[in-house]
Amino acid sequence: MKPTDRMHKTTLSIHGGHGPDPLFGGVSMPIYQSSTFAFRNAEEGAARFAGTEDGYIYTRLGNPTIRALEDCVAQLEGGHAALGTASGMAAVSTVFMAFLGAGDHMVGTAAVYGPSRTLMESEFARFGVACDFVDTSRIEEIRARLRPSSRLLFVETPANPTMAVTDLESCAALAKERGLVLAVDNTFASPILQNPLALGADVVIHSLTKFLNGHSDVVGGIIVSRSVELHKRIQKVLRLLGGTMDPHQAWLVLRGVKTLALRVEKSQENAERLARFLEAHPKVAWIKYPGLESHPQHGLAARQMKGPGSLLSFGLKGGFEAGRRMINSVRLCTLAVSLGGIESLIQHPASMTHAGVPAEERREAGITDDLIRLSVGCEALEDLQADLELGLATA
C-alpha cells in the first residue's frame, strides 16, 4: 500500500503522485521536456514497445512529469489511473470516441458545458451517433430517454451553469442495470468536494484549467478510470487521437494542485456568504447555489458533496438588461469565461459559453437569458461583497 492511500485530501494534493526526485533529490517534480527517451539496448526498446517492461518511449505515449500529475489526480479521485489531456475538451472528446460508435446513443446532462453538447450534436452526429440531453437531476427523465442502443450516460454535476445537482448513486445503479458507462464531469466540484467513482461512476473528467490548476494560466484536462480495462480502452484512443498533455503544462498544473484544498476551502467560504447576501438583496430575482436551503437539490448536495462549492448563478429582477449593466459595472470581479481560479470571474452564459447552444435548447436546459454565473475566488469577502453591491446599484 502506498503511504498516501489513506491520507486526507489536503495532504494528497501536496504529496500525491510523486516524492523527491530520485536522481538528484529535487523536492519539486522535474520537467522532463523531452519528446523521446533513449533505450539502453535494442532488447529494452523492444520490451517497452511490447508492454512487457515499464518505461518511457515517446511523450505522446507517456512522460514522467505527466505521469506524476496523473497519479496525483487518480489518488485524489480514488481511481485506478488517470490520463492527462491537452484540454478539457480533449478529455471529453476522447471519452466520447472511446465509448461511442455509429448507431450508438448517449444520454447527457442538458445544462452541460456548452462545447461538450455542441461537439456531440454537431460533430459526432455526423458519424451516426445519436444523443438526448435531459435534466439528469430527474432520474425518470434519463430512464425515459434510454434506448437499446444507449452506451454512455454523460453527467455534469453540479451542472454548468444552472447548478442543478444529479444523484450519482441513482445514475450508477441505472447505468449498471442497462449496461452503460457512466462518465461524470466533476470540474465544478473538484476531487476535494465530490468523488463520483466512490458513488459508482466508471469515468471522471476534469478540466484541469479550472480548480485543479487554479491560476488561470494553463489549459488542460484529465480522465480518471475506475478499472484497468476502462483505462486501457481510453488510453488507446487518446494516444491515437494525439490530444495528450505537454510536460511543462503538467508541471504547472501539478504545482497548482498543491494548493487545491486551500483554495477550494477559501473560495467556498466566500461563496456561501455571498450567496446569502444575494438571496436577500431586493434586486435579485432568483439564485441557485447548492449551499442554500432554497436550492431544489440542497439535501442531495449535502449528502453527495463535502461542500457546496464556489459557483453560483443568479438573475436580476430587471432581466437581461439589468444583468448586462451589473457585469459592466463590477470592478473586482473579472468579466471572463472559465472558473475555479484564485480570482473571481463573472460572465453571461447565454451570450458567451453557451452561445453555441440553440436558444430553445438553452431555455429547456434552464439557461435563461438573465442568468449570470459567478465563480467566486479567494479575495477578501468584504471586497467581493462591496464589488457586487456596486454592480447591483447600477442594475
Catalytic residue among 60, 255, 276, 283: 60
Is 210 part of the annotated catalytic residue set? Answer: yes
Dihedral angle computed from the Cα positions of residues 109, 352, 253 and 2, in that order, rounded to the nearest 10 degrees: -10
Which amino acid would we find at residue 334?
A: T
Q: For residues 78 and 393, what is the distance between their CA atoms, to the nearest angstrom?
A: 46
Residue (of 391, 366, 388, 369) closest to 377 by Cα position: 388
Is 324 part of the annotated catalytic residue set? Answer: no
* Start-to-end CA span in the chain (Å): 57
Q: Are 203 and 181 within 8 A, CB to CB?
A: yes
Catalytic residue among 210, 266, 288, 373: 210
Peptide bond into 158 cis (omega under 30): yes
Catalytic residue among 32, 48, 71, 113: 113
Catalytic residue among 71, 185, 246, 387: 185
Q: Which residues are 14's β-sheet partners?
A: none
Is 185 part of the annotated catalytic residue set? Answer: yes
Q: Are 55 and 184 within 8 A, CB to CB?
A: no
Q: For residues 73 and 17, what is the distance between their CA atoms, to the nearest angstrom?
A: 8
Q: For residues 20 and 27, what is the distance between their CA atoms, to the nearest angstrom?
A: 5
Cα 195 to Cα 6, 166, 171, 255, 311: the distances in Å are 15, 13, 14, 21, 17
Helix H segments across 179-259?
Answer: 190-193, 228-241, 247-257
Q: For residues 128 and 249, what is the distance between their CA atoms, to the nearest angstrom?
A: 34
C-alpha cell of residue 360? 430553445
Is 32 part of the annotated catalytic residue set? Answer: no
Residue (of 220, 289, 252, 238) closest to 62 by Cα position: 238
Burial 242-264 (b: 16+ CB within 10 A, else e): ebbbbbebbbbbbbbbebbbebb
What residues contact 270, with CB distance under 8 A and at least 6 apart?
Answer: 310, 376, 377, 378, 379, 381, 384
Give me the active site residues, please: 60, 113, 185, 210
